[in-house]
Chain A
């Protein structure tokens, strides 16, 4: 009897142990350590696309749209997982992407102008820029938006600027990215053009556009700067009012009635492009694989449906064109930051 007891208890724990160990070693165990994969055997594992922000922002939605389209159309059979890595307006994950993941063909990243801005700005500078990645493709174009709660006393962009001019400490501007990064730029650009010292504008940063909207709705911010596509759904539900967008011409769809910065008397515009990046030392095979698949993807109806749903304008550039575009944009951003006195 006694030995039997012992046997059962050992058997029980052994089953527990084997079960757990088997779970942890299977599936994901070999995900990351594949280097220099050739075109024929890539992808061997699940692929991760990282949105370097919290859930619900532009990066997050873009990453999810790519993953969904690729898997739904069976362009890529291997499951694509989207991971959010918030912090520092993308700078926190950028450091990891440029160092730890530099050779990992199975981790890609979605990004937009902050990859340039964070590298060019003086305060909170990220030592890593687009040169520490392999740009794969630009996919969409979007614009910045200045947004207030629907019961706000601010009716126009000019109202906001007047209030800031009168007392910069009285108006709280919030955004989903770090100070000096994109949402901040979108927000202070009109102020700068209106002759307000950009440093005097009170800016509170949240982890991603979703949190910034929550702060606005909860009454913890007076105005937020975010991107036009993300805010469209909130505008539709009537929770918020969009005062201005940073495009050169009026947008279509939900925000068609919203004036541009220029119409509001502010001579400025800001384009938010979004693209997908591979790690710096991505293998040739993996790079070609993605270039082909992305070129195919942008032509599919499923992708067009995603664009439509999210209110993004399609703007596709392949790897080479995207790299050239990034070089040009880098100069534009540096000029803008220099004008604001925030350059590196």
Chain B
């Protein structure tokens, strides 16, 4: 069968009524998550994993995995749509990937063109979603064919690259990011070692034999951490919401944004494919590119529609591009994709080169559903933009208890142990303390997921090479990854030393 046939099969999976529903629910929740400032795509997805796991519990594993990943991915790219709403209406980005949108978006709103700005970001996001989808279809199959040839050495180096990339870009201080990475790797060693079967750091507590549950840690650090932060820091509500008048963009608006949307989509997609460089970077790069190419760069920051169209397309395309390393190599490039990967593993679906052979319905179903989901978002966002804008007004006193309740119900529904509830609480407190002190949490979660895989592959590689570490440098692909990993860490450092300002990726 060729790719088109697989894609057709994927659509038949995505068009099953329950999957259409899952995609719809996913994108709606995603948009809400994007709009609400307290909760980002990472905590949104983590929070929903146990919920989807429960809903799909009666279904066969593969179908359950497909349905639930369709919903979770919907939350991920739906959040990219929603994030722009608050940027434009409130001058407060719902997501870090929409920070640049505030520059021109809020200005447009001040000029009474809020509706147009929202519409153009929805249209741009849609086009970007389609570009990302085409990229996925074209690249997924060939890439996964190459990836089958990957041996333990290549996997080890590639995962190292993933860790280095996220640590190199996350947060304000690389030292802090690296501390979090190492902490995550250390937490990942708890439990019975999968290679030798020896118990490590379990202190004879049977509850620790299977290690710390990734889901509990992620929900605690992200969702509960945010809750504690909001309560303790008493975030003040921001100013008035701009009124939405006209929604449909004019012909001139469309003409002005066509090129930025195309450029933003392509740029965003390729940045998204790179591990570590997520949607935030993509939107920044797109904004800078648009400003550079513009005939009148002085209008940027004063309500230029290209400054909304480009970055909004780029951040959405990046979220699609980020699916490529996740699906074909089994390597998450960011915090959110790490959580998506955790969800797949919960269903025993190992993302990676074998995914397209063993579970084509999951891989292609997801790809096809992203197309449908993007269409839904466009249809939903144009007429409903006023409704979504109202979500911003959700009082914290209702929102926060809801997040707490879903966290606890969700974790218990999957784990059935009170230990995990205490772990959840502990991680919540830890998440608050860490983010309060500018320690990025995403590298920790990524390291927790990748740690055991890195270790196993390193040990396999070393067994093959009879304990000779040079195997990582003599295999050409592995060497490329290691050099790239070193570059991710060293280049920002060098730039900083030379006094240059480095863009950081706070989205993770």
A20 and B348 contact, CB distance less than 8 A: no
A124 and B354 contact, CB distance less than 8 A: no
B151 and A24 contact, CB distance less than 8 A: no
**How long is the Cα–Cα vector from A127 to B217 in the complex, in angstroms?**
28
A92 and B210 contact, CB distance less than 8 A: yes
**How long is the Cα–Cα vector from A10 to B395 in the complex, in angstroms?**
8
Residue of B nearest to A220 (CB): B151
**Which residues of chain A have C-beta atoms less than 8 A from B199's C-beta?**
95
Interface status of A87 (Cβ within 8 A of chain B): yes
A13, A86, A207 — which one has the most chain B CB atoms within 10 A of its CB? A13
Binary contact readout A87-121 vs B (1 if CB under 8 angstroms, 0 otherwise): 11101110110111000000000000000001000
Known: A5-B390, A202-B463, A204-B460. A126 touches B57 (CB 8 A): no
Query: Which of B125-133, B285-293, B403-411, B485-493 lies at the binding interface?
Result: B403-411
Residue from B61, B194, B395 in contact with A82 in the complex, judged by beta carbons closer than 8 Å: B61
Query: Which of B48-56, B267-275, B498-506 lies at the binding interface?
Result: B48-56
Known: A92-B210, A96-B210. A56 touches B358 (CB 8 A): yes
Interface status of B464 (Cβ within 8 A of chain A): yes
**Which residues of chain A have C-beta atoms less than 8 A from B391's C-beta?**
9, 12-13
Known: A12-B391, A99-B209. A205 touches B358 (CB 8 A): no
Interface status of A163 (Cβ within 8 A of chain B): no
Instruction: Report B135-160 residues with CB < 8 Å from chain A CB.
Output: 148-152
Interface status of B198 (Cβ within 8 A of chain A): yes
A86 and B194 contact, CB distance less than 8 A: yes
B197, B390, B405 — which one has the most chain A CB atoms within 10 A of its CB? B197
**How long is the Cα–Cα vector from A70 to B152 in the complex, in angstroms?**
39
Residue of B nearest to A203 (CB): B463
B390 and A27 contact, CB distance less than 8 A: no
Interface status of A84 (Cβ within 8 A of chain B): yes
Binary contact readout A177-205 vs B (1 if CB under 8 angstroms, 0 otherwise): 01111000000000000000000001111
B48, B152, B390 — which one has the most chain A CB atoms within 10 A of its CB? B390
B210 and A95 contact, CB distance less than 8 A: yes
Interface status of B438 (Cβ within 8 A of chain A): no
**How long is the Cα–Cα vector from A100 to B191 in the complex, in angstroms?**
14
Interface status of B29 (Cβ within 8 A of chain A): yes
A84 and B348 contact, CB distance less than 8 A: yes
**How long is the Cα–Cα vector from A218 to B150 in the complex, in angstroms?**
7
Interface status of B417 (Cβ within 8 A of chain A): yes
**Which residues of chain A have C-beta atoms less than 8 A from B402's C-beta?**
13, 16-17
**How long is the Cα–Cα vector from A108 to B394 in the complex, in angstroms?**
45
Residue from B54, B354, B390 in contact with A26 in the complex, judged by beta carbons closer than 8 Å: B54
**How long is the Cα–Cα vector from A29 to B410 in the complex, in angstroms?**
10
Residue from A25, A33, A124 in contact with B196 in the complex, judged by beta carbons closer than 8 Å: A124
A96 and B387 contact, CB distance less than 8 A: no
A25 and B409 contact, CB distance less than 8 A: yes
Residue from A81, A83, A86, A220 in contact with B464 in the complex, judged by beta carbons closer than 8 Å: A220
Task: Tell me how far the C-beta of A290 lies from the nearest C-beta in chain B, rounded to whole angstroms.
Answer: 21
Interface status of B9 (Cβ within 8 A of chain A): no
Residue from B50, B192, B416 in contact with A87 in the complex, judged by beta carbons closer than 8 Å: B192
Residue from A6, A54, A98 in contact with B350 in the complex, judged by beta carbons closer than 8 Å: A54
A202 and B405 contact, CB distance less than 8 A: no
Interface status of A172 (Cβ within 8 A of chain B): yes
A12, A46, A181 — which one has the most chain B CB atoms within 10 A of its CB? A12
A205 and B410 contact, CB distance less than 8 A: no
A24 and B413 contact, CB distance less than 8 A: yes
Binary contact readout A1-28 vs B (1 if CB under 8 angstroms, 0 otherwise): 0000110111011101100110111111
**Which residues of chain B have C-beta atoms less than 8 A from A17's C-beta?**
402, 405-406
A81 and B57 contact, CB distance less than 8 A: yes
**How long is the Cα–Cα vector from A91 to B380 in the complex, in angstroms?**
49
Task: Tell me how far the C-beta of A262 lies from the nearest C-beta in chain B, rounded to whole angstroms.
Answer: 30
Instruction: Report B20-61 residues with CB < 8 Å from chain A CB.
Output: 29, 32, 48, 50-51, 54-55, 57-58, 61
Known: A9-B391, A10-B394. A88 touches B57 (CB 8 A): no
Residue of A nearest to B463 (CB): A204
How many residues of chain A get a CB closer than 8 Å to chain B's CBs? 69
Instruction: Report A47-87 residues with CB < 8 Å from chain B CB.
Output: 54-56, 79, 81-87
A219 and B151 contact, CB distance less than 8 A: yes
Known: A5-B393, A55-B348, A125-B197. A95 touches B192 (CB 8 A): yes
**Which residues of chain A have C-beta atoms less than 8 A from B406's C-beta?**
17, 20-21, 24
Residue from A10, A92, A181, A217 in contact with B191 in the complex, judged by beta carbons closer than 8 Å: A92
Binary contact readout A130-155 vs B (1 if CB under 8 angstroms, 0 otherwise): 00000000000000000000000000
Interface status of B207 (Cβ within 8 A of chain A): yes
Interface status of B195 (Cβ within 8 A of chain A): yes
**Which residues of chain B have C-beta atoms less than 8 A from A215's C-beta?**
151
Residue of A nearest to B202 (CB): A95
**Which residues of chain A have C-beta atoms less than 8 A from B152's C-beta?**
204, 220
B464 and A217 contact, CB distance less than 8 A: no
**Which residues of chain A have C-beta atoms less than 8 A from B460's C-beta?**
204-206, 220
A95 and B196 contact, CB distance less than 8 A: no
Interface status of B206 (Cβ within 8 A of chain A): yes
Interface status of B466 (Cβ within 8 A of chain A): yes
Interface status of A32 (Cβ within 8 A of chain B): yes
**How long is the Cα–Cα vector from A215 to B32 in the complex, in angstroms?**
43
Residue of A nearest to B52 (CB): A23
Known: A12-B390, A218-B150. A124 touches B409 (CB 8 A): no
B399 and A13 contact, CB distance less than 8 A: yes
Instruction: Report B170-199 residues with CB < 8 Å from chain A CB.
Output: 191-199
Interface status of A292 (Cβ within 8 A of chain B): no
Residue of B nearest to A17 (CB): B402
Binary contact readout A202-226 vs B (1 if CB under 8 angstroms, 0 otherwise): 1111110010001101111100000
**Which residues of chain B have C-beta atoms less than 8 A from A203's C-beta?**
463
Interface status of A169 (Cβ within 8 A of chain B): yes
Task: Tell me how far the C-beta of A332 lies from the nearest C-beta in chain B, rounded to whole angstroms.
Answer: 21
B58 and A27 contact, CB distance less than 8 A: yes
Interface status of B398 (Cβ within 8 A of chain A): yes
A124 and B398 contact, CB distance less than 8 A: no
**Which residues of chain B have C-beta atoms less than 8 A from A93's C-beta?**
210
Residue of A nearest to B147 (CB): A218
Binary contact readout B356-380 vs A (1 if CB under 8 angstroms, 0 otherwise): 0010000000000000000000000
Interface status of A123 (Cβ within 8 A of chain B): yes
A-B residue pairs in contact (CB < 8 Å), sample of 22? A6-B393, A10-B398, A12-B32, A13-B391, A13-B394, A13-B398, A14-B398, A28-B413, A33-B416, A81-B57, A88-B194, A92-B209, A93-B210, A95-B192, A95-B210, A100-B206, A125-B197, A202-B464, A204-B464, A218-B150, A220-B464, A221-B464
- Apart from A10-B395, A218-B151, what 19 extra A-B contacts exist at CB < 8 Å? A9-B393, A12-B394, A13-B402, A16-B32, A20-B406, A21-B406, A24-B50, A25-B413, A28-B413, A29-B54, A31-B416, A55-B350, A95-B209, A96-B206, A124-B197, A124-B198, A178-B195, A204-B152, A204-B460
- Which 6 A-B pairs have CB atoms at the shortest separation, nearest pair first? A99-B206, A124-B197, A88-B197, A95-B209, A91-B197, A124-B196
